[in-house]
Amino acid sequence: MSPNQPKTPPRQIRIGDTWYDFDAAAKAMGTERAAVIRELIDWYIREPGAKLPARPERTVIEAARESRARKEEQA
C-alpha cells in the first residue's frame, strides 16, 4: 500500500473559475478546499455538532481574482 493512498475515492464536480478563488480562500484560512467541503457537507446534512466553516475576508477573494486576471493578461 502506498503511503499517500486516500481512504475514499475522489468525486468530480464542475465549478468553474471560482474554484481558484475557493482555493485562495481556503489557504488564507489555513486549510484546504477538501476540508472546507467536508465541513459544509456535514453541516448541510445536519451531522451532530457540525458548524459552518469560518470564511475569509472578501479582500482575499478580490486579490485572488486580480492576480489571476494579471496572469491571464500576461499569457
- Residue pLDDT, tens place only, 21-42: 999 999 999 999 999 999 999 9
Of the candidates 24, 41, 45, 42, which has an alpha carbon nearest to the alpha carbon of residue 33?
24
- Here the cell at position 16 is 468553474
| Digit-coded pLDDT (tens) for 38-56 | 999 999 999 999 999 999 9
Q: What is the pTM of this model?
A: 0.79
Secondary element (H or E) of residue 26: helix 18-28
pLDDT of residue 6: 72
